[in-house]
Chains A and B, each alone.
Chain A
Amino acid sequence: MNAIILSAILGVIMMFSGIWVNNKATLRWIALAGLLVLLISNIAEMYGYRIWNVNVHNMLYFDRFGLLFNSVAIGSTFIFVALSGSDINRVGKYAAEYYTLIFFVLTGITIISVYTSLLMLFLGIEIMSIPLYILTGSDKRNLKSNEASLKYFLMGAFSTGLMLMGITLIYGATGSFSIEVLNNPAIAQGVSFLEITGMLFLLVSMAFKVSAAPFHFWTPDVYDGAPGVFTSFMATVVKAAAFIAFVKLFDARMSYSSAVVDWKMLLCILIIATLLIGNITAVFQQSVKRMLAYSSIAQAGFMLFAVFSMNEMAKEGIIFYAVSYSLATIGVFAVLLKMKDFTFEGYNGLAKSQPVLAFANTVFLLSLAGIPLTAGFFAKYFMLASVIQTGHYLWMVIVAVLFAAVSVYYYFRVIQAMYFKTGEGETENIHPGFKTGLIILTVIIILLGVAPNLIINFLYF
């Protein structure tokens, strides 16, 4: 509860500081301080210190899994603001409002990682999405940003409609909005068809939210059209949060209905389609930003394995995947935003002009591709190991490894452009602090790649 209330309050504080503080750099420091307070309060809650004792009437349940993910999300946002804060300030006039909206998104995220009532899932997803529609459209003069915002909004509202229909049908069958199924009369008399239909509606709407194929078509346009900083935020923290909600929902409700619906087969189709479309289309992109949009679809395919296998290892894995994927993508985007040209050619010769940026970018891309000694390797390893633990559909592991090999191709195109091609590698002015931040991020990613237990131990101790 600490993080939910504090992030809302901090949002209001940011809003008012926009009135009195005119210097955008100061706003960024306020936001960073706020995020630090938020992170500390959330970690304190993991160890039992609660600032507010609120009776939540069984709508939220603060378990280790959800709280750890909150810490991860807040920490990633902290790194995101620290690295790309200057780019947020460049998007438009309303820097204070952008930080406000980011805090409100965090409120939504901290709700959907601990919900136990479908009402809170619905509210959390809406609190998370509505500020994002605005952040997507914050570059008001840019037609692409407008387009992205409208597309994201219509798709988001449409999938919310589907989700509500699903929730309603589940309510009709069970008489409660709880995601637990303990006192369910339906178990005694077999699973109700209405409930199954409701679960299918929820599956489709969650697939929309995490951009799994074939419901991914909005993703490339939205990620490409939105201002780059906010794409970085959307593709990492927000997407990971949607996955946590997805995992929580199906963790509670999948197993007892599996006699009627073969969820594993449905998810298998989703995963294969997502991996196929994400990876193959990413190969043909000319713009690095658009390539990253498709690669985020491909990474979503890997994260779906957690929903597929749904065991202890999958839950550990999804948290670790969220960390490694978020950190690496935030890093790649932070470098991308400093480039003058977003195509592959723009990266030519970056190793000569900015060796630090090029090296850090290489580590981030290697992590995204899942090369050993980086965090991305263990993330993918956990996902595939969890599938092997279930003992079903083992051939999917081989398919996934093949697609990971395909992904190496398009990530290496960037590395090749930086190191082996001659060019200017033009960038904006690089602040020494930015380089330090990148180096710290690189060290974190390599550290997690050597000792993944640093994160996972938090689940248990």
Chain B
Amino acid sequence: MPIQYYIGLAATLFCIGITGVLIRRNAIIIFMCIELMLNAVNLLLVAFSKMHYATAFIRNANTTAGSDAQLFVFFIMVVAAAEVSVGLAIIVMMYRNTHSVDVNYLNRLKN
């Protein structure tokens, strides 16, 4: 598959994620859109890893080029899991106090 298709797909998913962060007010949905952005990145990393592998494979059949990107994806998943546990704890803490997950609610607290 041409790499441009993968870059295009990942960029589109990434931008959908960013749009979601901008247009939704529910903190949980915003957080889910951030996860969507991370997944777009993961997909692109795997595609790039296979692209660099294919290039290196021609020169050396035993190459491990590209495995670093797949491990990077693994680390992104590790971090995402840790981030989710903390993030949801924070959202639940806020819900306990305000009974709302609306991020605009926060602006009313100002001053």
Contacts and interface: CB of A to CB of B under 8 A. Distances in A.
Chains A and B belong together in one complex: yes
Interface of A: 119, 122-123, 126, 130, 133-134, 137, 140-141, 143-144, 146-147, 149-151, 153-154, 157-158, 160-161, 164-165, 167-168, 171-172, 175-177, 194, 221
Contact of B34 (A133, A134, A144, A158): A158
Given A123-B79, A130-B82, A168-B48, 16 more contacts: A123-B75, A143-B98, A146-B98, A149-B93, A149-B94, A150-B103, A154-B21, A154-B30, A157-B87, A158-B21, A165-B37, A168-B44, A171-B48, A172-B3, A172-B7, A172-B51
Interface in B58-111: 65, 68-69, 72, 75-76, 79, 82-83, 86-87, 90-91, 93-94, 97-98, 103, 106, 109-110
Nearest to B11: A165
A293 to B, nearest CB: 13
A164 B76 contact: yes
B94 A157 contact: no
B87 A153 contact: yes
Interface in B24-75: 27, 30-31, 34, 37-38, 40-41, 44-45, 48, 51-52, 55, 65, 68-69, 72, 75
B111 to A, nearest CB: 10
Contact of B106 (A147, A161, A194): A147
Tell me the interface secondary structure of chain B in the complex. Answer: helix
A122 B79 contact: yes
Nearest to B45: A168
A396 to B, nearest CB: 32
Given A122-B75, A137-B93, A161 B87 contact: no
Interface residues of B, number: 41
Given A143-B98, A172-B51, A154 B79 contact: no
A153 B44 contact: no
A374 B37 CA distance: 46
Given A150-B27, A151-B106, A154-B34, A165 B86 contact: no
Contacts of A146: 90, 93-94, 97-98
B98 A161 contact: no
A143 B90 contact: no
A26 to B, nearest CB: 28
A144 B55 CA distance: 53
A164 B41 contact: yes
Contacts of A130: 82-83, 86
A137 B93 CA distance: 9
A168 B106 CA distance: 34
B27 to A, nearest CB: 6
A144 B87 contact: no
B41 A168 contact: yes
B86 A134 contact: yes
Contacts of B69: 171
A137 B96 CA distance: 13
B5 to A, nearest CB: 13
A153 B21 CA distance: 13
A330 to B, nearest CB: 26
Given A151-B106, A154-B31, A126 B91 contact: no
Contact of B90 (A126, A150, A158, A194): A150
B93 A140 contact: yes
Nearest to A151: B106
A124 to B, nearest CB: 11
Contacts of A137: 90, 93
Nearest to B101: A150
A171 B71 CA distance: 13
A167 B75 CA distance: 13
A167 to B, nearest CB: 8
The winner among A123, A134, A137, A161 for most chain B CB atoms within 10 A is A161
B41 A133 contact: no
Contacts of B109: 143-144, 147
Contacts of B55: 175
Contacts of B10: 168
B22 to A, nearest CB: 10
A122 B72 CA distance: 10
A123 B74 CA distance: 12
Contacts of B65: 175
